[in-house]
Amino acid sequence: MAALRVSDLYKRFGALDVLRGISLSAQERDVIAIMGASGSGKSTLLRCINLLDIPDAGEVQVAGELIHMTFDRRGQRGPADRRQVDRIRTRLGMVFQRFNLWSHLTVLQNIIEAPIHVLGVPRRQAIAHAEHLLHKVGLDDKRDTYPAHLSGGQEQRAAIARALAMEPEVMLFDEPTSALDPELVGEVLKVIDALAEEGRTMLIVTHEIGFARAVSSRTVFLHEGTIVEEGPSRQVLDHPRSDRLKRFLSNSPGGGRATSHLLGGDDLR
Amino acid sequence: MDLAIVWESLPRLLEGTVLTLEITGLSLLAGFCLAVPVAMARLSPRRMLRVPAYGYMLYFRGTPLLVQLFLVYYGSGQFQPFLDQVGVWFLFREAYFCAVLTLTLNTAAYTAEILRGAMLAVPRGEVEAARSLGMSGLLLYRRIILPKAFRLSLPAYTNEAVFLLQATSLVSIITLLDLTGVARIIVAQSFEPYKLYVTAGLIYLVITYTFVLVSRRLERRLSAHLRGQPAGGIGNVVGR
């Protein structure tokens, strides 16, 4: 059974068709890189999976459970059961481009908030788990710091810890390093790489070609709302077949090798 | 200048001040409690909630407080049989109750508008993050949106509290002996309007600035998470 299955997803914003029939499935332990030029629908795809954007058509299944959709009186499509959506969202850990930490809470409070108030985990247990996660992302000493006092890389690592605290079955990364200064990109990629090593199921929207090659098992290349190429990352990225992907790869600095060294070696895998 | 009349009147003026503070405090407290659900209803996607909240806010922000006060105090008399029947006439008979009720409804409408703006100003990304972690509905409001909106609305809310304090002077017109009411009576007896109204004004001033100082303290505490960051004009809450 697929950990995540998306079938025939369509999404339109006004006159713009952002997604035009996307189907994708992730088996457990899959790490899928989603690449594409800006405007190709990568982020929207991710946001449609946990229904932050409502797809106009198509289905999403998480671990075999279908998210039920319905139409309201005005013909607007929406979830049939909001509680189901809330429950499924707890199983999908989302990491945003702009971190979106709650600025009025400390790092620790950010991490324990949802486990305590959504999952009902006892406070003491939530804190112990949070401290373990803080150690994992290398922020032991930032536990009582407010987000405004962190660097972008630290904020993103805290946001990853916050998502992990729910013990999600699938992690969704929406351009996790795009808002970071170049020298901070590596520390975040290392954390994500460690999660891949653990065998977590992940979908990563990224521009970091070297990172995708090193960490992801499969790469999906999107163009204008459709999947143009898809397959094992090395094959897709080293031997692109479509002109679109060839052009995309050659336009990227360093031919896509630019970031893999940040992980400590070109041939990490 | 002979200030004897001021000294002599001071105890009575301070008694009036107590009533002023009482009415202000009660109205602010009840008004705030009412404003939170009203603001939430105003932002609800459901028409059933949104439209009544909109109408309520429109009326109380769009008509003079004095008219509202007269409406409740004198207007309720016309409904005496009905109010008697439901057992609340004994409340409407009291000017004190009418004053607090009117001020509560009035400040709640303004506070709801302040809160509405603050809720809309909560960063979208932070709300999305909460949703992505399975929060929705009241939980989302209680844990994320409201705590952030309260912080954002504090400067504007302090202004509202100051306005309300000053607006309480209107209750003297419906026979209540608040600070202004007491001053009016002493003036009528002593023919010393200048000294007495200046004194009353000074007392209002002291209370106003106490409000503002307390609010600044609170704001400093609540913005601890931003300390060390460039502060975008935080701090000045007086004067609008």
Burial degree of A115 (CB within 10 A; 0-12, 13-18, 19+): buried
| A208: amino acid identity, one letter | E
Instruction: Say if the Cβ atoms of A52 and B228 lie within 8 Å.
Output: no
> Of B132, B148, B226, which is closest to A52 when you measure between CB atoms?
B132
Per-residue model confidence (pLDDT) at position A251: 84
Residues in chain A with CB shorter than 8 Å from the CB of B144 are: 102
Q: State the Cα–Cα distance between residues B126 and B114, nearest whole angstrom.
A: 20
Instruction: Say if the Cβ atoms of B131 and A118 lie within 8 Å.
Output: no
- Residue of A48, A110, A117 to mutate for B, most B C-beta atoms under 10 A: A117
Q: State the Cα–Cα distance between residues A46 and A245, nearest whole angstrom.
A: 20
Per-residue model confidence (pLDDT) at position A178: 92
Compute the nearest-CA separation of B125 from chain A (Å). Answer: 5
ipTM: 0.91
> Of A86, A106, A148, which is closest to B134 when you measure between CB atoms?
A86
Among B residues 67-126, those touching chain A with beta carbons less than 8 Å apart: 123, 125-126
> Of A89, A98, A162, which is closest to B131 when you measure between CB atoms?
A89
Strand locations in B172-224 (E): none
pLDDT in tens, B51-104: 999 999 999 999 999 999 999 999 998 888 888 888 889 899 899 999 999 999
Number of separate helices (H) and strands (E) present in chain B = 11, 0
Compute the nearest-CA separation of A104 from chain B (Å). Answer: 6
Per-residue model confidence (pLDDT) at position B203: 96
Tell whether pTM > 0.90.
no
Strand locations in chain A (E): 4-13, 16-26, 31-36, 57-62, 65-66, 69-71, 77-79, 92-95, 170-174, 201-205, 218-223, 226-232
Residue B83 tokens, joined: 């109010």
Pairing, β A170-174 against β A92-95: parallel
Confirm if A209 and A252 have CB atoms less than 8 A apart: yes
Q: State the Cα–Cα distance between residues A204 and A33, nearest whole angstrom.
A: 5
Instruction: Say if the Cβ atoms of B133 and A118 lie within 8 Å.
Output: yes
Closest chain A residue to B144 measured between Cα atoms? A102
CA angle A58, A59, A65 (to 5 degrees): 175
Percent of chain A beyond pLDDT 90? 86
> Of B126, B134, B226, which is closest to A87 when you measure between CB atoms?
B134
Question: Model confidence at A261, in pLDDT bands (50, 70, 90)?
Answer: low
* Cα of A73 vs its chain's centroid, Å: 33
Question: Model confidence at B154, in pLDDT bands (50, 70, 90)?
Answer: very high
For A3-21, the DSSP string reads: SEEEEEEEEEETTEEEEEE
Tell whether the model's pLDDT for residue B234 goes beyond 70.
no
For helices B95-121 and B4-42, angle between their N-to-C axes, nearest 10 degrees:
50
Tell whether the model's pLDDT for residue A269 goes beyond 50.
no
Per-residue model confidence (pLDDT) at position A1: 79
Tell whether the model's pLDDT for residue A184 goes beyond 70.
yes
Residue B154 tokens, joined: 């504090």
Ranges of each domain in chain A: 101-167
Instruction: Say if the Cβ atoms of B132 and A149 lie within 8 Å.
Output: no
| Mean local confidence (pLDDT), A97-108 | 96
Higher pLDDT, A131 or B229: A131
Please report the domains of chain B, with CATH numbers, ordered by start residue: 4-224 (1.10.3720.10)
Those residues with Cβ within 8 angstroms of residue B55's Cβ, 6 or more apart along the chain or in another chain: none
Pairing, β A65-66 against β A77-79: unpaired
